[in-house]
Chains A and B, each alone.
Chain A
Amino acid sequence: MSYDPVEYDPVELGIMWDRVVSIADEVVSALITTSFSTIVRESGDLSCMLFNGDGASLAQGNFSVPSFTGTGPPTLRHMLAKFPPESLEPGDVLITNDPWMGTGHTWDVNVMRPVFRGGRLVAYTLSVTHLPDIGGLGFSTVGTDIYAEGLRLPIQKLLKRGVVNAELMEIILGNVRFPEMVQGDILANIACNEVGGRLLTDFMDEYKLDDLGPLSRAIIERTESAMRAKIALIPDGVYRNAIPVEGIDEPLRLECAVTIRGSDVLIDLEGTTGSVQRAINVPLCYTRAFCNYALKVVTIPDLPNNEGAANPITLTAPPDCVLNALPPRATAGRHVIGHFVAPLIFGALAPALPSQVQADCGMLSQTSMRGTNLAERPVSSLFFAAGGFGALHGQDGRDATPGPSNMIGSPIEIWEDETNITVLHKRLIPDSGGAGEWRGGNGQAIALRNDTGHVLDAACFSSRSEHAAQGYNGGKPGALRETLLNGEHVHPKGRYLMQPGEVLETREAGGGGYGDPSRRARAAVLADIEAGRLTPEGAARDFGVVKGSGT
């Protein structure tokens, strides 16, 4: 890599940096608005990134789920290893969904476009979205190896010199359940990268930049040094944590040792259970994204995300443990286990950073619904519901708020209109948040009835049915999640064929509390009763507060 010896003063750097972040945001916006599947537009299961001509990162769109924190640079490196820059031409677009090169499962498609300016390769743009289908067994945790999980696309040219690779497209569309939607989403990825390329070259024209290298280097250096300055404030030492996590056939254990040495963070996952014969294994790229996320949140939450925020962190994990699954493990539901990496790291750092970390979240449940609606049209939608948010020092956890991942709840009216799956109720569950000086957020109860007139295939992805969201520093755990089919408890990671009229109900888990509940102000407990967050019985049991008694 060679750079011109350009140095930007703080005025220029600030303006150009904000501009490239804004370009990444515009790419995201183009992607969301042209996408066809609900998961992209409603859950934000996507990301867009910009890189300079050497493949070093410039910016990532602000709107994204944490699963994509820092996955882009390695994905691009894999792509360039197979198709070196000299083999790329204007109008080329590359694609892969390989779980180990992308973001951990075959449903996420990574689409990359090299950006040419005056015949020179000056940048790359990359987008990632979750496809509505990729064939195989379909989106669920029942697969036992990767071959059951649909098409695994090696890195290929999806467009050659601006022309769609028709054979490749035919293969993809011939292997998926909802080819129209899948095609639409792939085209949306192509379109958004086109937008990104145009905006980047405009930007280079405007500022008369021939090379984005110096800008990229300045951005990464600033970010990295800001993060290192914050890490250096954490006392050196080894911080350990181990948490039990629900598997499917057997319980799992995640373990970490986080070593802080100066401004470096070493995370080792020795002690974590081995991979399993179910589709909940996590490739290391996904584990790394959540490690990066957890560290960024407690150090530099307000800085734009880029490679600089990942550089101080080194991750090691035993080969083929459940957080470093190797091919040909099944990984469809890698998020169900992978989301626990954030609380695993928070828990380890809690003694060192008591006012930054968050008590455990109730997390979210995801139900993949496939079938046919009353109008005889196909249904393939995800229903999300959030449990309670974990409390922080000084702040209650919000009710029904997703964490560590993020999403947007589908409006009931739109959901019902498109699927004919009726929502019977959606209400908060009092007392379900963990008690504490600061209370965990409450979960919610939701019931879905199959009114489609057809058999409905429901695949559930959730946890916290055996291991509650833990409270911190004396705070109590939140309530467990429950999944019921026609009133009977069922496995929260199961797949069920729902007959017409059958009802699937979830009671979402509460968030963990923070601090000793006896320290919570009586007035705050009474206000919670008034607001319906606590029942009088719950207030007496968990906080020792009885309305009107003066105690």
Chain B
Amino acid sequence: MGLSLGVDIGGTFTDFALHDAARGEVFLHKRLTTPEAPGRAVLEGAVALLAEHGVGLEALDVLVHGTTLITNATIERKGAKTGFLVTQGFADVIEIGREQRYDLFDLRLQFPAPLVPRALRRDVAERVLPGGRVERALDEDAVLASAAELVAEGCDALAVGLLHSYAFPAHEQRIGALVRARFPQLAVSLSHEVSPFMREYERWTTTIVNAYTQPLADRYLAALEDGLAQGGFRGRLLVMTASGGTATPDMARRFPVRLIESGPAAGALMSAWLSRRLEGVEDLLSFDMGGTTAKGALVRGQAPLRRFELEVARVHAFKKGSGLPLKIPVLDMIEIGSGGGSIASLDNRGLIAVGPHSAGASPGPACYGLGGQVPTLTDANLVLGHLNPDFFLGGKMALDAGAARVALEARFGGLGLDAARAAWGVYETANEDVARAFRVHAAERGFDYRGCAMVAFGGSGPLCATRIARKLRVPKLVFPAGAGVMSAIGLLVSPLSHELVKSDRVLLEDLDDAGLEARFARLEAEVRAPLREAGVAAPVMQRALDMRYRGQGYEIDVALPAGAGIAELPALFEVAYRRIFNISFPGQGLEIVNWKASASGPPPAAMETLRIITADGGEALKGERQVYQAASNSFRAVPVYNRYALMPGDTLHGPALVEENESTAVLGAGDSAVMDASGNLVVSVGA
């Protein structure tokens, strides 16, 4: 395999990473996103970057693509007009939701409206009970009549959700066959295909988002494929999913809901890839902080943790329960409402709070000089001396430190804090918010972060990372090469993969090895099929179960080593349970709730090492800058280095700053950093 290209479309920029297997090198490119036709920037950028190598699209073997199209369409409600066929008597379930107030004290809390309004939902006369008994047969004529009405109403997509279809899909399958035959132009999503998961509200919501985005995904991929083909591309197109794997365009068209939030997944996957290249690193925290949010992920045993749920389109940006719940395979990401543009405010306690509101790009932080009056995390970093007013975005934008100081003093002067101490308060509050989010997330998963490593990237990640690492007692921190385009590089290491989870509650005592094997065999056949179609003959298979003590309501993920049978399950469960809760209940019966299988092929680019071509020579030491020191509440001169001029083996001692175009790494007193052979800056975090 020769040339592979990763292309990640972000809100502002579309990022490119080209891997040349013959030279073992990666070349980067960035250009403005073209929101009206996102595929245009993809094509133009690909052509431009390849041209620098003297080749055209025809020389490209693989193009891996990450897009926010599906996420945005769901958030902005720009999907297709969608109808919903549902078991009679339950059309309001998607509207009622979980009947829970996600905030006990806020009487004015808001909930997301369902994507399908009441007028486009139709009851289906049918009913299947648990165990599969058909209480009421499917009224096929009525199904077709309802579908015809919805089509006449202008629906381009149809979601179908029937009770207990996760285990007994016959009625949904029949509806699918009937409707697809009669209305071939209609995009039809069946709940047992999209997410065979036992919780009707979540499964149906997932299915509706799938249907809602299907026509859009189809049009977009068709246009992209056409454009690439006209440009001479004859390689394979792959699309990134949220699970940290890629899908063929065909799979992406069937299950567009799985593309939601795929950008952050690629970044986390890149962190995991790095953990395999760094000496002595098994577990790590992936930390990505941009302009509006921070994202975290836990990497255990060199693989990112996964789960099967995600909440999107939240009404309250960071309140769990205020969005649409999706049951899809995803990397288990932490989302935190802190980024460079996060606004610092006084909360009702009279204390400093940072985010979740963001000043955005316009007017942006006060120091941008675009009219922003309120202080942000970026303003704090500027006042503390972490940012260079003359070298923001590589010098493309000048920052106004005076404006930042004025904004901080105006807001926090009443607390008796000067601008520097207020800036430190804002900075520390944001750092603590991130550390806390990692702590809670790790505790819920039994992940011991103390002693593991952290990979920090994104525009604001390197500014905060050494403080956060200290708070978490993380001794080793990595600022990777190409931190500004981590997602695009991550696409190149994302394997073609497919995962399924299926609910089938069974007591362990009622199951034998043959039953276990039969259930997995069925699931694995389904999981393997799309990979086989894409030419992957022998994918890597992985089995896992969601298990619990009989009677409990929460399951934990138990990964099965190859060949594990019934006899091994209690011990595997107990280890996993103890890891999370430090307690187990010997003698209690066990039950399996969900069955999970995944298949993955090789990554698109055979990257063994990653040499990113960025060095520009020149002098490593650029000068020095006054940086705030909390311990003494005073400023002190600190050396500033040019990241691009650092050579492998170069060692730096904190306090120090390391500048690159997209960010600045802050090293504190006691930290020391070494540039490794691949261009990563590896920091030993001081006590």
Contact = CB atoms under 8 A, between A and B. Distances in A.
Interface of A: 9-11, 13-15, 17-19, 22, 25-26, 29-30, 32-38, 41-42, 44, 62-66, 180-181, 184, 187, 190-191, 194-195, 199, 206, 222-223, 226, 293, 296-297, 300-303, 305, 358, 374, 384-386, 392, 395, 398-403, 406-409, 411-414, 416-417, 420, 422, 424-428, 444, 451, 530-532
Interface centre among B130, B417, B585 (most CB of A within 10 A): B130
Contact of A29 (B118, B417, B440): B440
B99 A17 contact: no
B582 interface: yes
Given A66-B104, A194-B583, A531-B117, A22 B436 contact: yes
B580 A33 contact: yes
A392 B200 contact: no
B353 interface: yes
Contacts of A414: 198-199
A531 B118 CA distance: 5
Given A184-B551, A413-B200, A301 B106 contact: yes
20 contacts: A9-B421, A11-B352, A14-B352, A14-B353, A15-B432, A30-B581, A184-B551, A184-B552, A190-B583, A191-B582, A223-B349, A297-B105, A297-B107, A300-B348, A301-B106, A374-B131, A401-B101, A402-B99, A428-B92, A530-B117
B201 A411 contact: yes
B580 A444 contact: no
A402 B92 contact: no
A41 B96 contact: no
Contacts of B96: 399-400, 409, 426, 428, 444
Interface in B91-126: 91-93, 95-101, 104-108, 111, 117-119
Interface of B: 88-93, 95-101, 104-108, 111, 117-119, 129-131, 135, 163-164, 166, 198-202, 347-353, 415-417, 421, 424-425, 428-429, 432-433, 436, 439-440, 443-444, 471, 505, 549, 551-554, 580-583, 585, 588
Nearest to A178: B551
Contacts of A531: 117-119
Nearest to B201: A411
Contact of B581 (A34, A38, A358): A34
Given A10-B350, A406-B104, A408-B100, A413 B163 contact: yes
Contacts of A420: 130
Contacts of B111: 398
Contact of A530 (B106, B119, B416): B119
A508 B434 CA distance: 42
A132 to B, nearest CB: 9
B198 A417 contact: yes
Given A194-B583, A407-B100, A14 B349 contact: yes
B465 to A, nearest CB: 18
B24 to A, nearest CB: 43
B440 A22 contact: yes
B415 A10 contact: yes
Contacts of B100: 44, 402, 406-409
Main secondary structure, interface of B, reads loop
A192 to B, nearest CB: 9
Contacts of B444: 26, 29, 33
7 A-B pairs with the lowest CB-CB distances in the bound complex, closest first: A425-B89, A409-B99, A41-B553, A11-B425, A14-B351, A301-B105, A532-B118
B640 to A, nearest CB: 26
B104 A416 contact: no
B99 A401 contact: yes
A444 B416 CA distance: 54
Contacts of B353: 14
Contact of A302 (B105, B164, B421): B105
Contact of B129 (A32, A36, A403, A451): A451
Contacts of B166: 413
A408 B552 CA distance: 16
B119 A532 contact: yes
Contact of B90 (A401, A407, A426): A426
A416 B89 CA distance: 15
Contact of B108 (A392, A406, A424): A392
A427 B443 CA distance: 39
Given A26-B443, A416-B163, 13 more contacts: A11-B424, A14-B351, A34-B583, A63-B104, A184-B551, A187-B583, A206-B471, A302-B106, A408-B99, A412-B93, A414-B198, A422-B135, A427-B90
Contacts of B105: 293, 296-297, 301-302, 305
B130 A417 contact: yes
Contacts of B585: 184, 187
Nearest to B433: A18
Contact of B95 (A35, A413, A428): A428
A10 B199 contact: no
A136 to B, nearest CB: 22
A386 B352 contact: no
Contacts of B89: 424-427
Given A19-B436, A29-B443, A303-B349, A11 B98 contact: no
B352 A400 contact: no
A358 B107 contact: yes
Contact of B198 (A38, A302, A401, A413): A413
B549 A32 contact: no
B66 to A, nearest CB: 32
Contacts of A301: 105-107
Contacts of B433: 18
A375 B117 CA distance: 39
Contacts of B164: 413, 416
A530 B119 CA distance: 7
Contact of B99 (A407, A422, A425): A407
Nearest to A300: B348
A508 B592 CA distance: 35
A483 B596 CA distance: 42
B524 to A, nearest CB: 24
A36 B591 CA distance: 13
B582 A195 contact: yes
Nearest to A42: B553
A401 B428 CA distance: 38
Contacts of B104: 62-66, 406
Contacts of A33: 444, 554, 580-581
Contacts of A412: 90, 93, 163, 200
Contacts of B199: 411, 413-414
A10 B107 contact: no
Nearest to B133: A451
A184 B588 contact: yes
A226 B348 contact: yes
A64 B101 CA distance: 11
Contacts of B424: 11
Contact of A11 (B106, B198, B349, B429): B429
Contacts of A35: 552-553
B436 A194 contact: no
Interface centre among B96, B443, B554, B581 (most CB of A within 10 A): B96
A428 B97 CA distance: 12
A386 B99 contact: yes
A180 B551 contact: yes
Contacts of B135: 422
Nearest to A219: B349
Contact of A25 (B99, B348, B440, B580): B440
